[in-house]
Amino acid sequence: MKTNEKKNTSAKKKLIPAVAMLTTSAVMLSTATYAWFTLNREVEVKGLQMSATASNSLEISLGDLSTGEGAATITNPADGSATWSRVITVGEYYNSVGKLKPASSANGLNLFKIDDESNIYAGGTKVKDDATVVAVENKNTATLTPGKATDVEKLTQIEPENKDKGYFIDVPMWIRTSAKEESEVYCTVTITDGNSATDVAGDELMKAVRVAIIPKEDGDTAKVLSGSSSLTTGALDATVEAGESVNIFGLDSKTYDADSKVLAGAADTYEQASKSAPTIVKANGDADKAITAANTAVFTLPAADADSGKYGVEGFIVRVWLEGESQSCYDLTASQDWNINFNFSLDKRTGV
């Protein structure tokens, strides 16, 4: 009897580490199928305000707004258009904006998302390794409706039909100069919480905001550009004017991956689609309270022609998205809005 008890005790002692090892293996197998990144499916921006100012011999425009019969439209500004100004506000040309959902990009031109959002879980902080990644298309833009807002300082939020939600917003802009020589244009971007200065969640989500300035066309007239209010089906236009490059502004560049990765390609799996994050123009000093991204040269304006009275003109797209791989993009920061302000100048300015 005692011999049997000893045998049973010995067998149990051997079984315990075996079970422990089996359990550990099972846990490893289950957790190995998930990545410690985020591409949040719940965060949605509920408001976006924009304004821009130009200094020196610069004027800026958001286009000519047509409010005749039928839907309002935005067209490129004519040479003599009254829309050319030193100060512009998006609410003077658009009256409502759809909710913005997180996407991810390595260059500001091509954006990507998880095809099936059920593969994003744990408060938006984990994505399955084998989740399919697809490219964001024109049809995935958030609705931006032309027309003058009731309060030009604040766009009306479109509530919440799925067709109005999207992963990015493209705003066409034009800038011109009377300078007689080719000029570098510098831009400082300020991103502030649109709710209140003490809204901690808003302050956090602001760090996930990405603003890309994409040069498209230059010359002596304002060329036609397509923004979110006029995009048709098909792939995003990823072309940039020859000799120029895209600049991406943000308050910080921290992503979940130690190597600072984002989604940089459509792929069979999320793991395969993760690449190095882009270089962004971060907030001055990268301080907690810094809300202004340091100024940088964003494109070169052609010289004006004094003899013909033609300006030097640049058309560009301002693309805004929420970087889903940002450490600041998670469920608890949902339902925020911000003010994004641009200051364009021909001289590089210092300080915040």
pLDDT, residue 203, reads 64
- Write down the mean pLDDT value for the chain: 79
Half-sphere exposure of 142 (CA within 13 A, CB side): 29
Q: How many domains does the chain have?
A: 2
169-177 and 274-276 as β-strands: parallel, antiparallel, unpaired? Answer: unpaired
Does residue 270 sit within a domain?
A: no
Same domain, 140 and 26: no
In a domain, 232, yes or no: yes
* Within-domain flag for 54: yes
Residue 218 identity (one-letter amino acid):
D
Percent of the chain with pLDDT over 90: 32
Q: Same domain for 165 and 301?
A: yes
115 in any annotated domain: no
Q: What is the pLDDT of residues 275-304, one digit of tens each?
A: 888 888 877 655 545 567 777 899 999 999
Check whether 32 has a pLDDT greater than 50: no
**11 & 152 share domain:** no
Q: Read off the DSSP letter of residue 259.
A: T
User: What are the pLDDT digits (tens) for 111-156?
Assistant: 999 999 888 888 777 888 888 999 999 999 998 899 887 766 667 6
* 140/228 same-domain check: yes
Residue 1 and residue 89 share a domain: no
**111-116: Cβ within 8 A, 24+ apart:** 111/135, 111/136, 111/140, 111/167, 111/168, 111/236, 111/321, 112/136, 112/263, 112/264, 112/265, 112/266, 112/273, 113/39, 113/140, 113/167, 113/263, 113/324, 114/39, 114/41, 114/270
Whether 20 and 141 map to the same domain: the answer is no
Residue 160 banded pLDDT, cuts 50, 70, 90? low
120 assigned to some structural domain: no
Q: Residue 200's pLDDT band (boundaries 50, 70, 90)?
A: very low
Backbone phi, psi, residue 5, to 5°? -65, -40
Q: Answer whether residue 262 is part of any domain.
A: no
Residues 229, 314, single domain; the answer is yes
**One-letter amino acid of 36:** W
Distance CA 337, CA 142 (A): 14
Answer yes or no: is 57 within a domain: yes
Q: State the residue range of the domain holding 96.
A: 45-103+135-255+277-345
Do both 84 and 51 map to the same domain? Answer: yes
Residue 164 corresponds to which tokens in the numbers above? 């109005």
pLDDT at 157: 65
Structure confidence at residue 16 as a pLDDT band (50, 70, 90)? very low
Note whether 13 and 153 are same-domain residues. Answer: no
Query: Are 218 and 341 in a shared domain?
Result: yes
Helix (H) and strand (E) counts for the chain?
3, 23
Q: Is residue 150 part of a domain?
A: yes
221 in the same domain as 338 = yes
Residue 246 banded pLDDT, cuts 50, 70, 90: very high
For residues 15 and 58, membership in a common domain is answered with: no
Q: What is the model's pLDDT at position 350? A: 54
**Amino acid at the residue 188:** T
**Residue in the structure block whose two tokens are 């604040």:** 154
